[in-house]
Amino acid sequence: MHERLAPLQTMLVQAGPEVAELLRVSEHERLVGVGNFVAHLDAKSVLRAGVKQSTVTDTCWVLTGSEVFTRLTADRGWDGDAYQNWLAQILAASLLGPVTA
């Protein structure tokens, strides 16, 4: 998704205040969606022990943003697969508790 949308979002940021407001609303909606996902993980008791749900939401929201994708791919030369693998590992380490049998 980021491979298609990140360049467009970068251009839209410079398009003017109306578009900037649309992007702001879109990011807020993404935050709400991430919060719902984290609430689901919390309800399933799989979140890492000792972390607040709001902190986990913020962490997941920031890590899954297009800016992080752009920095790692465009600025640092990562390919999409490397980014996806890194993201999966960092999210699991940051959000999830130990797996129990």
Spatial contact of 3 and 67, defined as CB atoms under 8 Å apart: no
In this prediction, residue 20 has a pLDDT band, given cuts at 50, 70 and 90, of: confident
pTM of the model: 0.76
Residue 84 identity (one-letter amino acid):
Q
Q: Single out the residue of 92, 91, 79, 54 nearest to residue 3, CA to CA.
A: 79
Report the pLDDT value the prediction gives residue 15, as an integer from 0 to 100: 65
**CA 57/CA 38 separation, integer angstroms:** 6
Q: What value does the mean pLDDT take over residues 17-35?
A: 87
Q: Which residue has the higher pLDDT, 26 or 7?
A: 26
Per-residue pLDDT reduced to its tens digit, 52-99: 999 999 999 999 998 899 899 989 999 999 999 999 999 999 888 776
